[in-house]
A = this chain, B = another copy of it.
Amino acid sequence: MPSYTAPTKDLQFVLHDVLKVSEQSTPGYNELDRDFTNAILEEAGKLNSEVVAPLNVVGDQEGCRLENGMVYTPKGFKDAFEQVKEGGWTGLDMPEEFGGQGMPAVIGTAVGELFSAANQAFTMYQGLTHGAASAILAHGTDAQKATYLPNMVSCEWTGTMNLTEPHCGTDLGLMRTKAEPQGDGTYKVSGQKIFISAGEHDMADNIIHLVLAKIPGGPEGIKGVSLFIVPKFIVNEDGSLGERNGVSVGNIEHKMGIHGNSTCVMNYDEATGYLLGTEHKGMRAMFTMMNEARLGVGMQGLAQAEAAYQNAVIYAKDRLQGRDVTGAKNPDGPADPLIVHPDIRRALMDQKSFIEGGRAFLLWGAQMIDEAHRAEDTDADGLVSLLTPIIKGFLTDEGYDMTVQAQQVYGGHGYIEEWGMSQFTRDARIAMIYEGANGVQALDLVGRKLGADGGKHVMAFFDLVKGFCKEHGDDEAMADFIAPLKTASKHLQSAGMYFMQNGMKNPNHALAGSYDFMHLFGHVCLGLMWARMARASLDALAAGTSDAAFHETKLTTARYYMARRLPASGMHLARIESGADTVMGLDAEAF
């Protein structure tokens, strides 16, 4: 069975040596000294290694069970969930006013990685609750907040997001679920929603569904969509649970992975709903959840890659097969360990350099969210909004590929379920799909975010890269990092230029390159993070760090990323600059 150990040291490096969190002026950051964050990460790591991770394979093999309208989670989930709640982990970055610990998103994200890596299916129960609570926090009335948030922050009650219907996912304007006003401020919600993660289960007293629906007579399409709070049990005025609402599970889905999470078909039959936010502005309210959710999904890609990588490393060191061509490394044994072979190294370095770069990227994103929310920094808000589809799309695509590479290290054993490597790929696969399939992320990036506010945020990104290159361009020790970053960044600019010059004439010239642009942008972001990490490690070495080996490893891994991963930028640019002609050249009948 696979094991999991929290990468505390690497998280600490990113938080303190790279992002220098405790030196930032963002409210709440001054508390985040090394000892404090270390204590949190150690504690969360222990819980995840010992309690949450061992249930990962159990959840996969047992799955969820629907019986008489009730869903039963896999053995052990309920007890583990109690421990998570008792530790206060579910409200880590939620306001103290509602029982949370009020920590910044950057800590919530660092801890979130551990939970996601240990057991994605299990962690989704709290993840969805966090998303739903965030939407109530942002758009709810004071009464709604008081009614729902304390129990959601503690995860006594869990939450869900209900968007998709059988005939529509991305195009929510086609939605059929209706919400009829009852004249008393409540609505009767009727319709069917599918793919509802944590839709029903046995780990919470109540489930607070957030449901998108149309109020009859409202505007057509997406502009007529509103968001409703539909609790499984109506909450009485005194806070006690009242009658069962008209919401029930139609079925649980048989999925490729995340078997431990109950993905439900939910039927709403005149269920009592309460408007959240403004009539017909449901999409705006939902997007509050979705941006946060998209960062969380990007984290899942990274987290599954980390978990798979850790086990691939163990296997590569343990499994004896073949000899090092440059001379036996284990001459007294029957063969050398796999890790001596260059192609196994290549696979492990691909994984390691992606994971550590992605981790820094993600935490930088979380830091900008804190700047946006806590310091009302609109520039940070704009930049993280630009980067969100990249965090989601790039980290989940690459994260998935890395789980496949980790599985490959095991050879035939990687294909046998008992070893657990197949599960990492099957679980990671969903992250490329939900919260907006990655093609939709690319569309959001190129069609919406790139030109937002007159292109201000992408210009800010380029300025940031240029500034960094300029600042460190004369430092010879940085030459291995600055030159490749400049090249890749130039490729990204050329791609943006191509879109500007050709997308006006024909938007398909931009959209046909959107996916490659998302990946090109992702590589530049990770290139930037690696350059920043290299800088941090060079500084630490110059300052006489007591852990030189760690920083030397960082530098080698940074060089690997620059030499072996960043060259993808030229390929993506070539694809983008070939335009839409070959992409759109065929009639639909020709396929």
Whether A339 contacts B588 by the Cβ 8 Å rule is yes
- Flag the segment in A9-17, A224-232, A425-433, A532-540 that touches B: A425-433
Tell me which residues across on chain B come within 8 A of A347, comparing CB atoms. Answer: 439
Q: Which of A287-335 contact B (CB under 8 A)?
A: 313, 316-317, 320-322, 325-326, 334-335
Whether A256 is near chain B, meaning CB under 8 Å from some CB there, is yes
Please name the residue on chain B nearest to A417 by beta carbon.
B254
Contact pick for A508, options B255, B317, B342, CB 8 Å: B342
CA distance A507 to B571 in the complex (A): 28
Q: Is A411 a contact partner of B578 (Cβ separation < 8 A)?
A: no
Alpha-carbon separation in the docked complex, A442 to B346 (Å): 12
Quick one: which of A557-591 are within 8 Å of B by CB? 557, 559-560, 563-564, 567-568, 570-571, 574-575, 578, 580-586, 588, 590-591
Residues of chain B lying within 8 A (CB to CB) of residue A429: 404, 407, 415, 422, 425
The CA of A353 and the CA of B553, in the complex, are separated in Å by 40
A56 contacts the other chain (CB 8 A):
no
Given the known inter-chain contacts A342-B514, A564-B575, please indicate yes or no for A412 contacting B426, CB distance below 8 A: no
Contact of A205 with B by CB under 8 A: no
Q: Which of B412, B515, B586 contacts A433 (CB 8 A)?
A: B412
Q: How far, in whole Å, are A515 and B341 apart by their CA atoms in the complex? A: 12
Task: Name which residue of chain B comes closest to A335, CB basis.
Answer: B171
Chain B residue at minimal CB-CB distance from A567: B574
A179: chain B residues at CB < 8 Å are none
* A556 in contact with B585 (CB, 8 Å): yes
Interchain CB contact under 8 A, B585 and A560: yes
Q: Which of chain B's residues have a CB closer than 8 A to the CB of A345?
A: 512, 583-584, 586
Chain A interface bracket (under 10, 10 to 19, 20 to 34, 35 or more): 35 or more
Q: Are B343 and A515 interface neighbours, CB within 8 A?
A: yes
0/1 string, A342-366, CB within 8 A of B gives 1: 1111111100100000000000000
Which residue of chain B is the closest to A552 with respect to CB atoms?
A: B590
Interface segment, one of A38-46, A162-170, A206-214: A162-170
Output the least CB separation between A109 and chain B (Å). Answer: 24
Partner pick for A335 among B174, B438, B553, B581, CB 8 A cutoff? B174
Closest Cβ of chain B: how far from A330's Cβ, in Å? 11
Tell whether A253 is near chain B: CB-to-CB under 8 Å: yes
Chain B CB within 10 Å, residue with most, of A194, A347, A567, A591: A591
Contact A438 to B408, CB < 8 A, known contacts A170-B322, A335-B171, A511-B343: yes
Q: Which residues of B contact A567 (CB under 8 A)?
A: 570-571, 574-575
Contacting residue for A582 out of B316, B322, B559, CB 8 A: B559
Q: How far is the CA of A255 from the CA of B426 in the complex (A)?
A: 12
Q: Is A80 an interface residue (CB 8 A)?
A: no
* With contact pairs A443-B343, A515-B343, A583-B345 given, residues A408 and B433 touching in the complex (Cβ less than 8 Å): yes
24 A-B contact pairs sorted by A residue (CB < 8 Å): A167-B320, A168-B321, A169-B412, A171-B320, A174-B320, A194-B412, A255-B415, A256-B425, A325-B447, A326-B508, A342-B583, A343-B512, A343-B514, A346-B515, A404-B429, A408-B432, A412-B433, A415-B429, A556-B582, A556-B590, A563-B574, A563-B582, A564-B583, A571-B571
4 further A-B pairs in the complex, CB-CB below 8 A; given A174-B320, A346-B583, A415-B429: A343-B439, A348-B591, A553-B586, A560-B585
